[in-house]
Chain A
Amino acid sequence: MSKFKRGTGKGMPAISTASLPDIVFMLLFFFMVTTVMRETTLEIDINPPDATEVKKMDKKSLISYIYIGPPIESQQVNFGPAARIQLNDRTFSRKEVGEIQYFIISEREAKHEKDRPYMTTSIKADENVTMGIITDVKTELRKVNALKINYSTKKRD
């Protein structure tokens, strides 16, 4: 009779929970790595118009965003209800539309030279803005030769 022999018929031992924290941490890190943080806090209200012939855009890193719309309510005290342009974290009035040139140039400088021809500018505009401001933005884009643009829209069936 072995001294080490234990009693039989005890059944399965309970699964060790010692690795549970590891699993939880792993999930946490997984989410942290795979998700993209909202890069800019929007200071303007945008409800894009809808369209049927939309295409998905790939290569997110090569897209520069220009937001156009009325300021959010808390900002209307400062700026009034007129549509503004947001670049990164700052908003500009229609008169300051020239800032777009600096914005595009700095965006361009941040990218690798071989990626630059593929850069796209996405115009995220509210459905209630008028074409005046959009045309101004487009003219500025043309001045800096940022010719690939995309009008951001929702998909409608």
Chain B
Amino acid sequence: MSTYLLILFPFIVPFYFFTTTMDIDSGISRKLPPMPEENIETPEIHKRNIYVVLINKNDRVLAGIGSPTNMIEIDGNGIISESLKEDVKKFVSNNGRSETSSENPDKAIVSLQNQEGTSYTMYIQVQNELTKAYNELRDEQAINDFGRKFDKLDDTEKKKIQEIYPMKISEAETKAN
């Protein structure tokens, strides 16, 4: 009996190896806006409080406050230049210092627009850069306030930081071409 099972064992192990998954799910989390109800006026947002990031169908990234005016460089490997992240950080943490940038982080909205032909890779990259911008701002604030990085804070402390820098990324409907 025992030898029988011992012979079988090497066959049983690979079976589990192939049929089971151990992959941990990871990714970028987002919250979608609820479906707009009809006849509800969208609140006016001042131009200075909105940072528009547009990824067009050719995967070119345009960004700017109020309207997408600056072209963001993308290198040969399709990696977006750091300038997008830095711009977003500067925009969100402006706190009214500059007349042409956001009034405060709570009012600052990053509007992400993409087109039908935008590639998913580029979209995720931009989402990643935006997340990074917010993560870095939160980390800086956390170190300033509590002396620890954001990840190391407890829940109430995290909430405080999140209130200072709420992640406001809005995604408009895809524009046709």
Using a CB–CB distance below 8 Å, which chain A residues touch chain B?
17-18, 20-21, 24-25, 28, 31, 35-38, 48-49, 51-57, 60, 63, 120, 122, 125-132, 134-135, 138-139, 141-143, 145-155
What residues of chain B lie closer than 8 Å to A17, measured between beta carbons? 2
B81 at the interface (CB under 8 A from A): no
Q: Write out the residue numbers on chain A whose beta carbons fall within 8 Å of the beta carbon of B118.
A: 130-131
Neighbouring B residues of A54 by C-beta, 8 Å: 26-28
Contact of B2 (CB < 8 Å), options: A20, A38, A127? A20
The CA-CA distance from A63 to B27 in the complex, in Å, is 13
Residues on the B chain within 8 Å of A128, using CB = 119-121
B149-161 interface bits toward A, Cβ cutoff 8 Å, 1 = contact, 0 = none: 0000000000000
Chain-A contact segment, one of B41-49, B86-94, B95-103, B125-133: B125-133
Residues of B within 8 A of A18 (CB): 2
- Cβ distance B131 to chain A, nearest Cβ, rounded Å: 4
Contact A153 B19 (CB under 8 A): no
Residues from chain A with a CB closer than 8 A to the CB of B28 are 51, 53-55, 150-151, 153
**Contact indicator B6/A130 (Cβ below 8 Å):** no
- The listed residue with most A CB atoms (<10 A of its CB), out of B5, B12, B34, is B5
B21 touches A36 (CB 8 A): yes
Alpha-carbon separation in the docked complex, A155 to B27 (Å) = 8
Nearest-CB distance from A120 to chain B (Å)? 8
Give the docked Cα–Cα distance between A57 and B27 (Å). 8
Beyond A130-B117, A131-B115, A138-B32, 8 additional contacts (C-beta under 8 Å) are A51-B128, A57-B29, A127-B124, A129-B119, A130-B120, A131-B118, A151-B30, A152-B27
Asked if B111 is at the interface (CB within 8 A of a chain A CB), the reply is no
Docked CA distance A125–B120 (Å): 8
A126 adjacent to B120 (CB under 8 Å): yes
CB-CB contacts of B110-148 with A at 8 A, as 1s and 0s?
Answer: 000011111111011101100110010000000000000
* CB neighbours of B40 from chain A (8 A): none
Contact (Cβ within 8 A) A56 B25:
yes
Q: Which of B17-38 contact A (CB under 8 A)?
A: 19-21, 24-35
- Measured in the bound complex, the distance between the Cα atoms of B9 and A143 in whole Å is 50
Residues of the A chain whose Cβ atoms lie less than 8 Å from the Cβ of B174: 131-132, 135
- In the bound complex, residues from chain A placing their C-beta under 8 Å from that of B5 are 20-21, 24-25
Q: Name B119's closest neighbour in chain A (CB-CB).
A: A130
CA gap between A52 and B24 in the complex, in Å: 15
